[in-house]
Structure 1
Amino acid sequence: MTADDESAFDRLRAEVDRPLTRLFREYGASRKRWLALGLAANLLAQTASLVPPVVLGTAIDAVFGSQTTPYALPLVPAAWIPTTPEAQFWFSAWLIVGAFATAAVCTWVYGVTANFFAHDVMHAVRTDSFEKLLRLDMQFFDDKQTGEVMAILNNDAGNLEVFLDNALMNSLRLLVMVGGIAFILFSLNPQLALVTLVVVPGLVGFTLWFMRAVAPRYRARQSAVASFNTRIENGIGGVELVKTTNSESFESGRVRDSSADVYETTMSVLKLSYLYRPGMELLAGLSFAATFVVGGYWLLVGAPGPLAGELSVGTFVTFIFMTQRFVAPLAEVSNIVDQVQNARASAERVFGLADIPVHIEDRPDAVALSDPEGRVEYESVSFAYSDPVLSDGGDSADGGDDPPVLEDVSFDAAPGETVAFVGPTGAGKSTLAKLLLRLYDPTAGSVRLDGEDVRAVTLDSLRNAVGYVSQDTHLFDGTIAENVRYGRFDASDEAVREAAEAAEAHEFIADMPEGYETRVGERGVKLSGGQRQRIALARAVLHDPPVLVLDEATSAVDTETERAIQRSLDRLAEDRTTLVIAHRLSTVVDADEILVLEDGRVVERGTHDDLLARGGRYASLWRAQTNGR
């Protein structure tokens, strides 16, 4: 990613301090009992797994040998140990069975508790992240791709779950096994323990080298995977364009190149992993060989070189068993590093999202609109897009170097009046309307509803007072009734039907096999553009707001459908304040006032007849759309 491509969100992610520590602080603290229980159970399970080799070695010397060696176990009081060989045999058997049973029970306990802890954290991260996403300013979504947002909810939360469930527990297992084995070996024979553990510094050094060497390769792989996912999403999302422009081979080539990057970066990681694991096994094998040679020579000939004292067969057997135990936990280090690296990057993204400031929110002293009439006033309103992460969070957004979208726009709309905005694409019409809903805040000037600055009232009461029908109608995957009812979830079936009738949608809904229970598919793909638009209008009718914003509500429909929608719009606008954004001027000829916008400025205003008589920009647009009439 180049400096130019880096967004403020990326910079904010880079500023997250110790993301994994923060993860435990913010999400682990309230669940610490489950975490503590899981860690304790894991500790007991791994400790119990070390008991059988120790008991076996002791029994070989004290029970099955010459029986002159005293039966003694580390940390076990002598008073607990039987005195006869037969009793010591059964005592050993029960200890081994008890150790295996304890390990099994504790493994089940830590498996359950660790998964509960990890999945509960993942659930909380997902829901908190989604709630934060819903609270973020619209400018964040103007800048970010859907795939990147979805990656936080899915991939990143999943990486954190894997880290908390696997990496955390395996790290503890590694520490317990290495530490426990070292303690046992030194308890049995410190001299032979030094021989066995002489490779440990090499194991540690090799592991530290691997971690440093593999970290940048993991980052490169993660970046390649993210780019690949984005490429796939873009290709599938634009499949219609790909097909209609005969660009299948071009798009396949781009995916192939992106996939090749994933392959190369993955192989770069695997090459190190395939070097690390055999290397660890070789070092562990050298430890085993040294223990076998020195211990075996000690038993056959006597203490070699500087070593002194006696070595029993049982102790030698225990050393052989314990030496083999080094290999498995140390081989897990590469997986642990992988999971930690993924979790760190994911935690940075999660907390980078959490740290994005929200500017469009209720002030501490915000008041709720009470029974609003619908008077709308724009006074000297200007607006420029700003970076939602870097802006100062004041009442107005700092537009920085971005060109203004709106400049010094003023107008009034009394209850029952209709004000229309017309002009070329990019003139600022939609942005002007969205300021009323506080999807954005103005850079300068004020927007008022019933005399109250919209920044001084609660968002709930403001958005309940304004109905918005967009040119890009969005329907959720569900039934028609559910989509009409969206936002008024307690509305009765009768109210839904009346709203559909008012929007002239009831007839086509009734003709469908399942009527109002017909599923519309994702984004309403099973319906035509006009049908989707009328369902959106029915939703607005059901909402029954005092102010209605219609953003090119008939832009994507044919002439006959437009007439039907326009009839419903006329009825809907009769007793409420209506702001209409129109491309087709024929839909706004009856508006009380028409504002013509160009480059964010109002260049003309008046009624349809006044503007035609003036012969200016509006008259030119009208002639262009009516073939000179």
Structure 2
Amino acid sequence: MDVDAGDDDAFEDVRENVDHPMRRLFAEYGRDNTGAFTVGLLSSIAARLLDLLPPVLLGVAVDAIFRNDRPFALGPVDLSAYASDPESQVILASSIIAGAFILGAGFHWTRNWGWNAFAQRIQHAVRTDTYDRMQRLNMDFFADKQTGEMMSVLSNDVNRLERFLNDGMNSAFRLSVMVLGISAILFYYNWQLALLTLVIVPAIAFFTYRFIKAIQPKYADVRSSVGQLNSRLENNLGGVQVIKTYSTEGYESDRVEDTSRDYFDANWGAITTRIKFFPGLRVLAGVGFVVTFLVGGLWVYSGEGPWIFTGTLSEGEFVVFILLSQRFIWPMAQFGQIINMYQRAYASAERIFGLMDTPSLIEETDDAEELAVTDGEVEYDGVTFGYGETQSVSEQSSGEGTDPADDEVILDDVSFTVDGGDTLALVGPTGAGKSTVMKLLMRMYDVNDGAVRIDGQDVRDVTIPSLRDAIGYVSQETFLFHGTVRDNIAYGSFDATDEEIREAAKAAEAHGYIQNLPDGYDTMVGERGVKLSGGQRQRVAIARAILKDPEILVLDEATSDVDTETEMLIQRSLDRLTADRTTFTIAHRLSTVKDADQIVVLEDGSVVERGSHDDLLAEDGLYANLWAVQAGEIDELPEEFVRRATERRSQVDAEVGDDD
């Protein structure tokens, strides 16, 4: 059975529907951070203009002070009015240069503050918004995506956005100011030599364009392979106990190596493209510098323009050209780095907004009201549910409606009512639809036909928080968050006092063992509660439900994986918890539900039997046969029951194989 992640990007389908992700990023998140953006932008301009002042002053000093053949002026500003003799002019020029360095350092600080604040705030907002949107999606989304893939979006992709917004944009504006400022100064001094210096720009632009076209799909492959690698590592680390017990370390190492190789190949493909681009860009930039130096040097040496050039070029102007052209050419080469960062950020933004745009199938109506639980009566009225546009089994068998092969019917025309305060047990073979019935009650999914009502209120017409606040859920696979025992009991009831937490623990038969833990209620349970036994985790979950005090309780195989003694303790807890409240119990171990007020037997998504334990035994149907299996009376089972059980088992195994 191949359980490897697919070759495609898990978010490829939603990425394709995202238009202009970077433009959207600035439109949705940049507006709230215009202050930091403005500080960073204006400081970048000021800092870079001040950086250009020393080379210009050096050129002025060469011609005006040392050669004394040009006026001591900085553009239109006559500096000789402030210093008339050469000594004072040197001091003034040195003072201006020193002031430019000091003031520039201040602007560099405010520039970095502005860009970092802009990037960090957007990073925080994007990550929290993405997570908030993700956790509100319906369960189908989480069934299709692996944890590592989603973590890759929340961590790696969001971090790439932050790096571009900080380093990339900072560099882009800084280099833009440098290029524009230097171009203006060079044209001011000698437009002919300036044109020669800038002639290399179109070649650099074309070279950069080709790089963008080549690198963009490769970065998309890198992002996809990162998600797959994270999923593989997360999956293996979570299943390390199974790996050890089956001695499959070598097999899993090979699978990690294969997934890591896919990432290596994708990343190396992007790297080889990138490492070819930047040296080539430096060669082009170097050609521009050499040409400027050659023509300018001959111009100064001969005293007149070589070849087609006319006019004069002073030594000071030549110095300015040499210093500024070098500052100009290398920034042009650095634009490739910025484009490189932009392409990475673009691919990440597509994944982020693709995830954020994923529609949730469970939405509140505009006029949804708060659920008001009075008696706690729950009614399932002709409920049909499946994946896709579903129809009833009767319609499928008659050939009406859509092709049944296109649908997967899970529940068909399920109807029953449980009175407030009663306990209803759902039993049946694996795959009969028991857990799906409860998921519809909590609106993890919505029915395709029929209705689920609580005290006459359709669950689709009430607010989702009020619905789920009224329902307490204790599952077979108890999940505890990393934190203390106290934190886990109070989860969802965050305002509970210590006394209320202790009382809930006592009611769940958990107080005794909690007191014996190293730090009592302050004991850290470890990741997923690994420091506690299965029975201890189960009783913490029951205490959590008791503290919530819900009107309706759902127990999904709450005692199936514990020993007999622990089951007895948990069952005592559950008896207290279910008293005077509507309770649903899903169980394969029928001894735990024989005292239920009503037992509903499901088979292939339909209700086939309903009644008390004694009534169902008297019917000698499916429930009676399941009871006989657990009583060890296997030889007395009807052949038809065994045949159907074999068919169901084969079907379930096939579906699991397809899912994997």
Q: Name the TM tier (shorter chain).
A: over 0.9
Q: Does 1:284 align with 2:302?
A: no
Q: Does 1:373 align with 2:366?
A: no
Which of 34, 40, 43 matches 1:41? Answer: 43
Alignment-derived partner of residue 261 in structure 1:
262
Q: Does 1:523 align with 2:528?
A: yes
Segment drifting more, 217-226 vs 249-258: 217-226
Q: For the residues of structure 2 that align with 1:5 and 1:224, how far apart are their CA atoms?
A: 8
Q: Residue 412 of structure 2: SS of its match in structure 1? A: strand
Q: Does 1:419 align with 2:421?
A: no
Preserved contact between residue 74 and residue 184 of structure 1 (Cα < 8 Å)? no
Preserved contact between residue 366 and residue 457 of structure 1 (Cα < 8 Å)? yes
Q: For the residues of structure 2 that align with 1:400 and 1:149, how far apart are their CA atoms?
A: 31
Q: For the residues of structure 2 that align with 1:316 and 1:256, how far apart are their CA atoms?
A: 58
Mapping of residues 23-42 of structure 1, within 5 Å: 23-42=25-44
Preserved contact between residue 284 and residue 323 of structure 1 (Cα < 8 Å)? no
Would you say how many aligned residue pairs link Structure 1 and Structure 2? 615
Alignment-derived partner of residue 308 in structure 1:
310
Q: 1:456-515 CA distances to partner (integer Å, 9 max, x unpaired)?
A: 122222222211111111111111111111111111111111111111111111221211
For residue 285 of structure 1, what is the amino acid of its counterpart? G
Q: For the residues of structure 2 that align with 1:400 and 1:124, how far apart are their CA atoms?
A: 44
For residue 173 of structure 1, what is the amino acid of its counterpart? R
Q: For the residues of structure 2 that align with 1:317 and 1:495, how far apart are their CA atoms?
A: 80
Q: For the residues of structure 2 that align with 1:255 and 1:218, how far apart are their CA atoms?
A: 21
For residue 489 of structure 1, what is the amino acid of its counterpart? F
Alignment-derived partner of residue 71 in structure 2:
70
Q: Does 1:170 align with 2:171?
A: yes
For residue 149 of structure 2, what is the amino acid of its counterpart? E
Which of 594, 598, 618 matches 1:613? Answer: 618
Preserved contact between residue 72 and residue 80 of structure 2 (Cα < 8 Å)? no
Q: 1:15-53 CA distances to partner (integer Å, 9 max, x unpaired)?
A: 111000000000001111211111111111112111111
Alpha-carbon distance change, 76 to 412 in structure 1, aligned in 2, over 3 angstroms = farther
For residue 25 of structure 1, what is the amino acid of its counterpart? A
Preserved contact between residue 47 and residue 176 of structure 1 (Cα < 8 Å)? yes
Aligned-pair CA distance for 1:222 = 2.5
Q: For the residues of structure 1 that align with 2:101 and 2:9, how far apart are their CA atoms?
A: 54
Q: Does 1:539 align with 2:540?
A: no
Q: For the residues of structure 2 that align with 1:84 and 1:400, how far apart are their CA atoms?
A: 97
Alpha-carbon distance change, 265 to 554 in structure 1, aligned in 2, over 3 angstroms = same
Preserved contact between residue 385 and residue 448 of structure 2 (Cα < 8 Å)? yes
Preserved contact between residue 372 and residue 465 of structure 1 (Cα < 8 Å)? no
For residue 44 of structure 2, what is the amino acid of its counterpart? N
Alignment-derived partner of residue 225 in structure 1:
226
Aligned-pair CA distance for 1:197 = 2.1
Preserved contact between residue 45 and residue 177 of structure 2 (Cα < 8 Å)? yes
Alpha-carbon distance change, 203 to 236 in structure 1, aligned in 2, over 3 angstroms = same
Matched-pair identity in %: 52
Mapping of residues 542-557 of structure 1, within 5 Å: 542-557=547-562
Q: Residue 553 of structure 2: SS of its match in structure 1? A: strand
Aligned-pair CA distance for 1:369 = 2.8
Preserved contact between residue 280 and residue 327 of structure 1 (Cα < 8 Å)? no
Mapping of residues 145-156 of structure 1, within 5 Å: 145-156=146-157
Aligned-pair CA distance for 1:7 = 8.9
Q: For the residues of structure 1 that align with 2:7 and 2:422, how far apart are their CA atoms?
A: 45
Alignment-derived partner of residue 395 in structure 1:
none
Q: Does 1:363 align with 2:368?
A: no
Alignment-derived partner of residue 142 in structure 1:
143
Q: For the residues of structure 2 that align with 1:213 and 1:134, how far apart are their CA atoms?
A: 36
Q: 1:402-441 CA distances to partner (integer Å, 9 max, x unpaired)?
A: 4011111111111121110011222111110121111211
Alpha-carbon distance change, 152 to 531 in structure 1, aligned in 2, over 3 angstroms = same
Segment drifting more, 454-463 vs 606-615: 454-463
Q: For the residues of structure 2 that align with 1:586 and 1:44, how far apart are their CA atoms?
A: 80
Q: Residue 357 of structure 1: SS of its match in structure 2? A: coil
Q: Residue 405 of structure 1: SS of its match in structure 2? A: strand
Q: For the residues of structure 1 that align with 2:181 and 2:294, how far apart are their CA atoms?
A: 23
Q: Does 1:451 align with 2:456?
A: yes
Alignment-derived partner of residue 487 in structure 1:
492
Aligned-pair CA distance for 1:82 = 4.8
Q: 1:380-402 CA distances to partner (integer Å, 9 max, x unpaired)?
A: 11111359xxxxxxxxxxx9934
Which of 408, 420, 423 matches 2:413? Answer: 408
Q: 1:264-288 CA distances to partner (integer Å, 9 max, x unpaired)?
A: 3333223233322222222222222
Alignment-derived partner of residue 249 in structure 1:
250
Per the normalisation by structure 2, the TM-score is: 0.89
Segment drifting more, 251-260 vs 608-617: 251-260
Q: 1:339-390 CA distances to partner (integer Å, 9 max, x unpaired)?
A: 2112112211221122122342332212223353211111011111359xxx
Alignment-derived partner of residue 60 in structure 2:
58
Q: Does 1:116 align with 2:121?
A: no
Alpha-carbon distance change, 239 to 7 in structure 1, aligned in 2, over 3 angstroms = same
Q: For the residues of structure 2 that align with 1:75 and 1:535, how far apart are their CA atoms?
A: 80
Alpha-carbon distance change, 218 to 446 in structure 1, aligned in 2, over 3 angstroms = same
Q: For the residues of structure 2 that align with 1:32 and 1:9, how far apart are their CA atoms?
A: 31
Q: For the residues of structure 2 that align with 1:616 and 1:164, how far apart are their CA atoms?
A: 67
Q: Identify unmatched segments of 5+ residues in structure 1.
A: 388-398
Alignment-derived partner of residue 594 in structure 1:
599
Aligned-pair CA distance for 1:99 = 1.8
Segment drifting more, 220-229 vs 114-123: 220-229
Q: For the residues of structure 2 that align with 1:227 and 1:334, how far apart are their CA atoms?
A: 28
Alignment-derived partner of residue 394 in structure 1:
none
Preserved contact between residue 470 and residue 552 of structure 2 (Cα < 8 Å)? yes
Alignment-derived partner of residue 273 in structure 1:
274
Alignment-derived partner of residue 570 in structure 2:
565
Preserved contact between residue 212 and residue 343 of structure 2 (Cα < 8 Å)? no
Q: For the residues of structure 1 that align with 2:263 and 2:143, how far apart are their CA atoms?
A: 28
Preserved contact between residue 489 and residue 540 of structure 2 (Cα < 8 Å)? yes
Q: For the residues of structure 2 that align with 1:412 and 1:123, how far apart are their CA atoms?
A: 47
Alignment-derived partner of residue 180 in structure 1:
181
Alignment-derived partner of residue 14 in structure 2:
12
Preserved contact between residue 10 and residue 145 of structure 2 (Cα < 8 Å)? no
Alignment-derived partner of residue 508 in structure 1:
513
Alpha-carbon distance change, 83 to 39 in structure 1, aligned in 2, over 3 angstroms = same
Q: Residue 482 of structure 1: SS of its match in structure 2? A: helix
Alignment-derived partner of residue 297 in structure 2:
296
Q: Residue 408 of structure 2: SS of its match in structure 1? A: coil
Q: Residue 451 of structure 2: SS of its match in structure 1? A: strand
Q: For the residues of structure 2 that align with 1:151 and 1:221, how far apart are their CA atoms?
A: 12
Alpha-carbon distance change, 419 to 178 in structure 1, aligned in 2, over 3 angstroms = same
For residue 152 of structure 1, what is the amino acid of its counterpart? V
Alpha-carbon distance change, 579 to 77 in structure 1, aligned in 2, over 3 angstroms = farther
For residue 323 of structure 2, what is the amino acid of its counterpart? F
Alignment-derived partner of residue 339 in structure 2:
337
Q: For the residues of structure 2 that align with 1:147 and 1:77, how far apart are their CA atoms?
A: 65
For residue 125 of structure 2, what is the amino acid of its counterpart? A
Alignment-derived partner of residue 393 in structure 2:
none
Alignment-derived partner of residue 127 in structure 2:
126
Alpha-carbon distance change, 260 to 371 in structure 1, aligned in 2, over 3 angstroms = closer
Q: Residue 70 of structure 1: SS of its match in structure 2? A: coil
Aligned-pair CA distance for 1:226 = 2.5
